[in-house]
Structures are given as C-alpha cells and as structure tokens.
Structure 1
Amino acid sequence: MARLTTTILLGTALLATAACSKKRPEVLPPAPGGEVGSGTGQAGDGFAPGSRGDFERSVTSNTINFALDSYDIDARARSILDTQAQWLARYPNVPITLEGHADERGTREYNLALGDRRANATKNYLAGRGINPARISTISYGKERPVALGSDESSWAQNRRAVTIVLN
C-alpha cells in the first residue's frame, strides 16, 4: 500500500512539473538593433515609418552638444538639427520631446535652468525650420542624467547636450 501511494505521488509530481514547463514560442521577437545616427535610411530593417527607430536610423544623430555655460546652437548642431527637421517634416503628426542636459558642475538649480534653455533653443531652431512647436515638448534634467560618468572635460562635454526623443 505504501508503495502504491509513493508511486501515485511521484506520478502526480511528474505530471505537475511537465504541465508547468514553458514551451518555446514559434516566432521569436526581433533582436535589438538599429544604430543611432547611422543615417542609412534603409527600408526593411524592421522599423515602422515614423517610429523612434526610424528616426534614429534616418538622422545624423538624436543628440546635439553645447559649449560650457552655453545654449547657442553651433554649426555642427545646426547640421544635425537640419536632418531632424527633414525627418520631422515627413511625419508631421509625430510628437517629440527635447531633453536638456548639463554637466555636473554648478548647482542643481543652475543646471536645471541651463538644460531648459538648451531644450528651448533646440525647439526654437526646429520651429524656425518649419516644425510646428505645438508637437514639441521640452524637459530639463540638468545634471541628473549624465551620459558619461567622469569628472573630466571629455565627460563634461558629452553631458552638455539636448536629446530629441520621438514619442511613438
């Protein structure tokens, strides 16, 4: 009798374990990909037209950089923003957010204000290129979201930026 009970319990445990096993999906999701700023504009890479991936693949970069304590748009930034404006003109219903960032130097309040000026300077440039400002929101992160960790000029230069984020 004890042997029969043990056999039944083992059989039940085996069935329960088999029922809980995870089956491999028939179709696997696509691998991560799409390089920011590749500028290839190639079709068939899995990005829907007007999507964030399409934007990042099609423009020179989604990021522009600024000089120390500055929110002036220089020639390199204008070149990058011009490619963004061309893409945005093709997709007039796509909303974006412009993030303003600063390096770690300065007070939190100063860097939030500087990030705000950088985001708004970028917005004004794109609006000047014919992009409807109503579809552009801005946010400042100040020094709170550095892209490069370090306390040297190279890191600081990378963190003084505005980033364009496509919202769909």
Structure 2
Amino acid sequence: MNTSLRLAIAALLCVTAVGCAKKATKVAPPSGGDRTEQATTDRSSDTGAYTEASLNSDSCLRQRVIYFDLDKTEIKSEFQAQIACHSKFIRQFPNYHVTLEGNADERGSREYNLGLGERRGNAVQSALSSAGAPGTQLNVVSYGEERPTCKDHNEECWSKNRRVEIVYTKN
C-alpha cells in the first residue's frame, strides 16, 4: 500500500474516532451475548488522551469484537471508528499487548476455518497498524471454528461466530 493511501486511511479513521468519542452508544459485551447496555464515554477522551481506566470505561474501547461477512476478511465500515480508538490506546500504552483472536463459523473444513480466522486477524492487525498502532504490540491467533460464542445452526448464530476478538494483556 502506498504512503498516500495509508495517510488517507489514517485520516479517515481519526475523523471517525472523533465522532465515536463524543456520543453514547449501545455496546455488545465482549462475551458476544445478546445483552446490550448504555455506555458513557470516558472524560479522558474529550482531551484526546486515554488513561488505563479508559480500557473498561470508554464506550469505543469497550467494543472489542469485529464481525465479518461469510467467507470475507474485509473490515466493515461500521468498525473503522473502533479500530481508530484501539489504535490510539495501543500507541499511548506500550505496556499493553494485544492478541487478535480470529474466528469462523462452523461451515467449511477445520483447515479452511483456521486459515480464515488467521486472515481475519491479519486484516484487523493491518488496519490497526495503518492507523498507527505499533506492530510489536500486536499478535494474531486463529481459533477457526473451535471457540463459537453461539452453538445454534442458523445464520443469526453463525454471524456471531465470524469475528475477531481484541484481547489486551498488560506486561
């Protein structure tokens, strides 16, 4: 990807992040359940800087799951603000490492789903890196179909299993 395209993507992500930080949104819990709750933004977001507490209080940072379409690895536009928020936090806190856990639904072979989960994780890693997150803090793991959040056999359930989970670890 050339430099001007990367800069354009980074600028778009930054503009989108500003919109994310100023409004309350409904947030799906990291467990992938159906329950939603009203979240408030962390005051530190108004100043442009995060604190470590922001990881659990900022509405944008609490969104740690990125969903994908069937057999796709492209990140949907609705997740761009989330990518920008996480990238900004990762840049500000080099003592945190992030594992990007790629997952797939049960359709397809085990090998295909492991590869698809890895490609999805790599897509999120690339987006975070393009937005400024240091690659040294990012790690991709694929679980394929092995860790479903929903075990029914229908499209609604499968769509919840096609995801990348963002997992923070403090060193």
TM norm structure 1? 0.69
Q: Which is strand-richer, 1 or 2?
A: 2
- What's the CA shift for 1:80? 1.6
Give the aligned partner of residue 41 of structure 1: 42
Task: Look at both structures and tell me which one has the larger radius of gyration over its CA atoms.
Answer: 1
Q: Distance in 2 between matches of 1:86 and 1:130?
A: 7
Q: Distance in 2 between matches of 1:109 and 1:92?
A: 34
- What's the CA shift for 1:42? 5.9
Q: Distance in 2 between matches of 1:113 and 1:39?
A: 37
- What's the CA shift for 1:94? 1.2
Q: Which runs of no fewer than 5 residues in structure 2 stay unpaired?
A: 1-28, 31-36, 45-50
Q: Which one of 91, 101, 104 corresponds to residue 103 of structure 2?
A: 101
Alignment of 1:51-130 (within 5 A): 54-58=54-58, 59-130=61-132
- Report the number of matched residues: 127
Give the aligned partner of residue 4 of structure 2: none
Q: Distance in 1 between matches of 2:69 and 2:152?
A: 17
Contact 2:103-2:163 within 8 A present in 1 as well: yes
Amino acid at match of 1:57: S
Contact 1:101-1:145 within 8 A present in 2 as well: yes
Q: Distance in 2 between matches of 1:107 and 1:50?
A: 40
- What's the CA shift for 1:60? 5.0
Q: Closer, same or farther in 2 for the Cα pair 1:134/1:64, shift >3 Å?
A: same
Q: Distance in 2 between matches of 1:160 and 1:87?
A: 25
Give the aligned partner of residue 26 of structure 2: none
- What's the CA shift for 1:56? 3.9
Contact 2:67-2:160 within 8 A present in 1 as well: yes
Give the aligned partner of residue 146 of structure 1: 148
Q: Distance in 1 between matches of 2:116 and 2:40?
A: 29
Q: Distance in 1 between matches of 2:56 and 2:123?
A: 21
Superposed CA RMSD: 2.0
